[in-house]
Structure 1
């Protein structure tokens, strides 16, 4: 696991060298073990290394046999050993034992087809000295981040946006169109970031940059479909593939630990992996501390689990630093415990496994259509899903806005996904955003136009409404929120996170799961849970998804933290974006118990904290706040 940064322009080498060093120094947390650079008249490639595979010999950049190709790489390739054997048989000469060199020779041998052969998480760039061409790619699901911009004649890229800010040709400007969609989604939901002119390379894409022109191409996409596989065979296949994926994801020359929560996903991974160390975290005692249940499972499985309870003061003190690491505002409350969980694990290990991906692959979210506990309503709804589309949609539209019990469950299951589902977060409705945003920030792509671009790719493919929702989440929620925070907040502590449940081989199984075995009257993620049950006690197999419980409601009704948030809402720059009186009233009414606007308040607070770090100040890493009484 590493960090990469670089740029293409014709500045002299002696000008390029200090710039590329600044760009990699700012992300030293991604790779504290070593650094490397390649600089010539046309390009500068920089690298920071966290040594995981071939500890002594994998320093980057790495060159091919004649020195014509140069690579820098961030990630892990889990099937690099068989690919290495194929490349040696084809006549390639290796100078290291690293997976990085497999990518380099693989590109030399197979070109773009390399991307169809590799299994892993990655972003990498290869400079071809002869063609004067830069080739780069991002992994199938967007596990690893890749940002790029073209400013003042320079093409620049990096694992984190803060690297780009170090380049003298970078122009820092807020993207005004990003704020309103963020208010709904809680994360930036499209390719252009909160920094105007800075873009994310989409998941499953590669690019070439030559003669000032960037060409981007898709090389991978999910193919959700139905099949007639039996439940027993499906469960066998899921379990065999999960076990194989976990084993592949444990390849390393250092110890690999695991995160462990009370939920089925990380528990399944830990139960299969049986690592030497697992890690759990929570707030205080009771509702907001999953580490207690995780500790019980660790006892049953005889795992060595390290748990820690966070204090409210720790959470607020580190919050500006968390937003600095994220590069863009993300108001997912789980960012806070994930930051501290990563810090805890990094005391012992360099690599951890985690459970991200199972909900999207196997139907784990209640927002996919589980809005009642009534068995009767579930049965009726399931029967109605077999009606012709016109009849289903008519019933759904009649239910929309009704208040009788089961109305929302009926609507969510019978309405077209394109009309009813925008992903796992919906904080502000657009009309609510308009009421508190200043006019200049109301002009932005609509929520519907954002999701429609993704839905359009699967139009006419005959997918169930549930599989459409999975596809949307795979291309918005997952790379925009889940994977981004997972990468940034683990790498903040020089910790590599691996996600064996988000694997292209397992995806090939998940694509074919019949809709009836994703969510049924019994539970979400039904087939997956049956597979997990082969390794876990019944209680853990069936447990409802909680996510990272975070006590925002309690915080915003405690005087100390209410005043802290209010002091941010009262700052002069806030009036640039928001009706300041309106958001202060929202905060005050929530504090008084008149309303429950915790998620809306937290979303505004997150943006303002991020803006303070990157625009009011100069984007330097903020200190931990001193909140002692």
Structure 2
């Protein structure tokens, strides 16, 4: 995987804009530490930073194709998992290839099918193609939005890139945030409205969409969406279909010219992927390496909560021994979690969820020492209805995003003036209603079935993008690629119509997936109660960030002060608030420190 950047201008000669484009690609050098490339023409400047995974010798970008006097150029980030089949199909149509890379296959797919090329792709991708023949820019993004792609229009110029920092490094773009951007931060954060990039007049290409730009304007096309229909397969056929798709996608996603490893938490999702990958490695006489996260003194400090039922470490050892992996346990302490707290914010260019992202970043930092690519279990809970929210009536009946039910306190700490300006409850309600209006309900569904389908839609289209974003940024900040087999669009399409009661067969969440992993995992692992991504329970972490928060509150120059109820936040940081304490306090402080650091480091100008 890589990082991309581009600048198209129909009224300015870009032939000599090397310095500006270099700044744009230098901003994402972490995404592609192995090589860089730039290409310029009168109307286009394309840039690329490369992380070598496939075809070390032949995948240099931007990649160009000459058609007479015109050039078609591509800058591409991601992996096309079916590129070998596509290459064969294109060769039969007369296309000739000079490399073994999936980039060249994508370029020729565009030459053959134009914008319809995206209909032929199975992968995770974000790309920009400049076609001189028609004076046209195409931006495309994968089905679920695993790979990021942002853009901004400034006059006659179109700017695009893998991360917001690419655009912010261009002289035409200012780091401005308006009322709506702040509403996204404080009312929906860390999730975002699809297409919204927080910064004023900067946008994100939506998952499953492509865009075209010419002198006549822009067009947006949704090439993939969830479609509801009756599920006709019986339970055995459904289990076998799920197993077959997962086996195929894992096999495809192990293709690389660099070492591939697997993340392992001891939970159902990562353990199942580890089992499938371990079988593939074993067939080649090789041994899979696995990695897990643990915290210093976790055995002593661990506390059960709403999302975490038990410790991961004993289950990790069980799976590693069963599958026969070479396992590596990465142990983190509160000191490093606090030291690197703002690093994921710099990776995302936006506030995040604090320690949960910091630990991911530090985990990938260690994994990068041994490998370049890892498999991860994102999307399983969203598409198999695994989260606790799916199984409790109060969440199914809620008229706000289900994950917001437990974040009632997030607006309690805002100043009265700021709260009046952004109207948090009104903004949340409107965004929720907008999302509900998109849900493709199936005629004849019961009220409960409609609520379950609605819940699934919210998680796939609103919550999953946040999960994918944090995984992409924390990994790519280390020049490390993460692949997500559960995000294969074929699996998501199929499971979208599998009835909730079938997904939860055997009276347990993700029961259908547990059956699909029979003969892959031991029964005790398959039926382990769900436990979320680990979080440190070390009291010194809360104390450390509380001291930091008090320092921020005591500094009159802290940019967050006008936005918050200073005395309420002070009481929380001092452990004196009568309502907000413990994990709730930690979540608030983590987030406010991220917001303050973001406003400060990015020199954000608030425009009301």
Q: What is the TM-score of this pair, normalised by structure 1?
A: 0.86
Q: Tell me, yes or no, if the aligned pair for 2:58 and 2:99 is still in contact at 8 Å.
A: yes
- For the pair 1:517 / 2:502, whether they are aligned, the reply is yes
Q: Which moved more, 1:70-79 or 1:438-447?
A: 438-447
Tell me the equivalent position of 2:378.
356
Is residue 2 of structure 1 aligned with residue 29 of structure 2? no
Do the aligned residues in 1 keep the contact of 2:150 with 2:160 (CA within 8 Å)?
A: yes
| CA displacement at 1:48 relative to structure 2 | 0.5
Distance in 1, Cα, partners of 2:405 & 2:327? 31
* Structure 2 residue 252 is the aligned partner of structure 1 residue 252: no
Q: Is the 8 A contact 2:338 2:541 kept in 1?
A: no
Rounded Cα–Cα distance in structure 1 between residues aligned with 2:412 and 2:579 = 20
Deviation at 1:112, TM superposition (A): 2.2
How far apart in 2 are the matches of 1:114 and 1:152?
A: 29
**8 Å contact from structure 1 (residues 58, 96) kept in 2:** yes
Is 1:53 the counterpart of 2:54? The answer is yes
Q: How does 1:524-543 map to 2 (within 5 A)?
A: 524-543=509-528
1:383 — aligned with what? none
CA separation of 1:136 and 1:457: change in aligned 2, threshold 3 A: same
User: Is 1:96 equivalent to 2:84 in the alignment?
Assistant: no
CA displacement at 1:565 relative to structure 2:
2.4
What's the offset of the Cα at 1:169?
Answer: 0.9
Aligned to 1:577: 563
Matches within 5 A, 1:218-617: 218-274=222-278, 276-284=288-296, 285-286=298-299, 287=302, 290-331=312-353, 333-370=355-392, 409=393, 411-413=394-396, 415=397, 419=399, 421-423=401-403, 426-428=406-408, 432=412, 438-439=418-419, 441-443=421-423, 446-458=427-439, 460-462=441-443, 464=449, 465-479=451-465, 481-519=466-504, 522-551=507-536, 554-555=539-540, 557-558=542-543, 560-572=544-556, 573-589=559-575, 595-596=581-582, 597-598=584-585, 599-615=587-603
**2:97 is paired with a residue of what secondary structure?**
coil
SS at match of 2:262: strand
Deviation at residue 65 of structure 1 after TM alignment = 4.7
Partner of 2:308: none
> Contact 2:150 / 2:204 at 8 angstroms: preserved in 1?
yes
Query: Could you say which residue in structure 2 is the equivalent of 1:402?
Result: none
CA contact (8 A) 2:30 2:478 kept: yes
Alpha-carbon distance between aligned partners in 2 of 1:349 and 1:431, rounded to the nearest angstrom: 42
Is the contact between residue 4 and residue 48 of structure 1 (CA under 8 Å) also seen in structure 2?
yes
Task: Quote the offset at 1:424 in angstroms.
Answer: 6.8
Q: Distance in 2 between matches of 1:432 and 1:90?
A: 62
CA deviations 1:500-526 (Å, max 9, x no partner) are: 111012123212312212235721111
CA-CA distance at 1:64 after TM superposition: 2.3
Deviations along 1:314-362, one digit per CA (max 9) or x if unpaired, are 0110112221011111226421221111111111111110011111111
**Greater Cα offset, 114-123 or 589-598:** 589-598
Offset, 1:592: 8.8
Give the Å deviation of 1:574: 2.4
Q: TM-score, normalised by structure 2?
A: 0.89
**Offset at 1:603?**
2.5
Per-residue CA distance 1:257-278 (angstroms, 9 max, x = gap): 1111121101100110015211
- Alpha-carbon distance, 1:62 to partner: 1.2
Q: Is the 8 A contact 2:505 2:512 kept in 1?
A: no
- For the aligned residue pairs, the C-alpha RMSD in angstroms reads 2.4
Q: Secondary structure at the match of 1:37?
A: strand
| Distance apart, 1:483 and its partner CA | 0.5
CA offset at residue 94 of structure 1?
1.1
8 Å contact kept, 1:33–1:48: yes
Give the SS at the match of 1:116. helix
The Cα shift of 1:235 comes to 1.3
Contact 1:357–1:501 under 8 Å retained in 2: yes
- The answer to whether the Cα contact below 8 Å between 1:148 and 1:201 also exists between their aligned partners in 2 is yes
Q: How far apart are 1:159 and its partner, in Å?
A: 0.3
Q: Is the 8 A contact 1:180 1:433 kept in 2?
A: no
Tell whether 2:113 aligns with 1:129.
Answer: no
Greater shift, 339-348 or 329-338, is seen at 329-338
Q: Count how many residue pairs are aligned between Structure 1 and Structure 2.
A: 573
Q: Per-residue deviation at 1:547?
A: 2.2
Q: Any stretches of 5+ residues in structure 1 without a counterpart? A: 371-408, 618-629
